[in-house]
Amino acid sequence: MTTRTPASSEPVDRRTFLKAGALGVGTLAGEALVDTRRLRAANADPAPVAPVNGEAPSPLIDVNVSLSHWPFRRLPGDEINDLVAELRRQRVSQAWAGSFDAILHRDLAGVNTRLAAACRTHGQGLLLPFGAVNPKLPDWEDDVRRCQEEHGMVGLRLHPNYHGYQLDDPDFVKLLDLAAARKLIVQIPLTMEDERTQHPLVLVKHVDPTPLLEHAKRLPHLQLVLLNAFRSLRGEKLEALAKTGNITFDIAMLELVGGVGDLLQKIPVDRVLFGSHAPFFYFESAALKLKESALDADQLRAIGSGNATRVLGPRSST
């Protein structure tokens, strides 16, 4: 994965990173330092993208972006206008947006109101807001109602590890039931940050998705999207979750060169979504994962936008 640092706003692709690592961190740092005005100039026309089998690349749907500010440091491109400009430059047609504020703020009604307003005012039809709900706080059911009825949100983005509950908690089960009844998509980031870089006073474990096996079977029409899953999820557990039919995974934390191609040897292509985790990660890191794997045009279309369109279904946006 490619994490943003305050010193740099220019992407370094994964192959360059590996080469530079062999030459020394100092060399890489020197090459990576670029004037941050490059990011603010992202209103320029999109960079040309090579066609696949003679076909022009389809626009992307990014299911994993966040607005506001990461609570532990500033990130290059975390101002909404910069983020929107960068997404447009990268040919993103729609981005599913949560809020970094949802991680530590207790007033989630306020977080969701600001998120909806930001997407409406600055998103220019690009940003689709996903509200935050904490089932361990009072009146959380009303937060769900407001997300859908007042803000027109089509889904929720939950943070169990920051909000202090497991996925077998009875209150979480009630939340899933309510989301299913309202036909809301439920996104769950299994992690937000590599555990090795977490603040020492805020050490947060990965979410254990195991209970979702039963929840997904019990609620077959509920769409569950696991974000940032591949830092901790692999092997038989991953394959079992994929077999449920209503759980999908984004590629933001998928590691290794050719990782998407390797992933498709384990789970069906229709279980995989494009997600960048921008602006926490460089957008180009996720885009490169599609380019460096041997994917045909149908697989690229499915991961880039088709699967997300299917998950979204006929729901309308704000």
> pLDDT digits over 204-248, tens only?
999 999 999 999 999 999 999 999 999 899 899 999 999 999 999
Domain-embedded: residue 113: yes
Judged by average pLDDT, the poorest of 130-134, 143-147, 194-198 is: 194-198
**pLDDT mean across residues, the chain:** 86
Q: How confident is the model at residue 316 (pLDDT cuts 50, 70, 90)?
A: low
Domain-embedded: residue 174: yes
Higher pLDDT, 19 or 171: 171
Q: Mean pLDDT, to the nearest integer, of 195-206?
A: 93
Higher pLDDT, 234 or 17: 234
| pLDDT for res 255 | 87
CATH code, domain carrying 265: 3.20.20.140
Q: What are phi and psi of 6, to 5 degrees?
A: -60, -20
Following DSSP, what letter does each residue of 150-164 receive, concatenated?
IT---EEE--HHHHT
Work out the angle at residue 253's Cα, subtended by the Cα atoms of residues 179 and 71, and round it to the nearest 5 degrees.
70
Q: How confident is the model at residue 315 (pLDDT cuts 50, 70, 90)?
A: confident
| pLDDT for res 256 | 82
**Distance, CA of 87 to CA of 67 (rounded, Å):** 13
Residue 89 above 50 pLDDT?
yes
| pLDDT for res 57 | 66
Which range of residues forms the domain containing residue 167?
Answer: 60-312
Domain-embedded: residue 221: yes
| pLDDT for res 132 | 98
Looking from the CA of 103 toward its CB, the CA atoms found within 13 Å total 17
Residue 106 above 80 pLDDT?
yes
Q: How confident is the model at residue 257 (pLDDT cuts 50, 70, 90)?
A: confident
Count of structural domains within the chain: 1
| pLDDT for res 314 | 86
Q: Mean pLDDT, to the nearest integer, of 110-126?
A: 95
pTM, two decimal places: 0.84
| pLDDT for res 154 | 98
Domain-embedded: residue 104: yes
Domain-embedded: residue 11: no
Work out the angle at residue 79's Cα, subtended by the Cα atoms of residues 74 and 80, and round it to the nearest 5 degrees.
140
Following DSSP, what letter does each residue of the chain receive, concatenated?
--B-BTTB-S---HHHHHHHHHH-HHHHHHHH---THHHHTTTSPPPP---BTTBPPPPEEEEEEEES--TTS--TT-SHHHHHHHHHHTTEEEEEEEEGGGTT-S-HHHHHHHHHHHHHHHSTT-EEEEE---TTSTTHHHHHHIIIIIT---EEE--HHHHT--TT-HHHHHHHHHHHHTT-EEEEES-SS-GGGS-TT---PPP--TTHHHHHHHSTT--EEEESGGGT--HHHHHHHHTTSSEEEESTT--STTHHHHHTTTS-GGGEE----BTTB-HHHHHHHHHSS---HHHHHIIIIIHHHHHHTTPPP-
Cβ of 252: how many Cβ atoms within 10 Å?
28
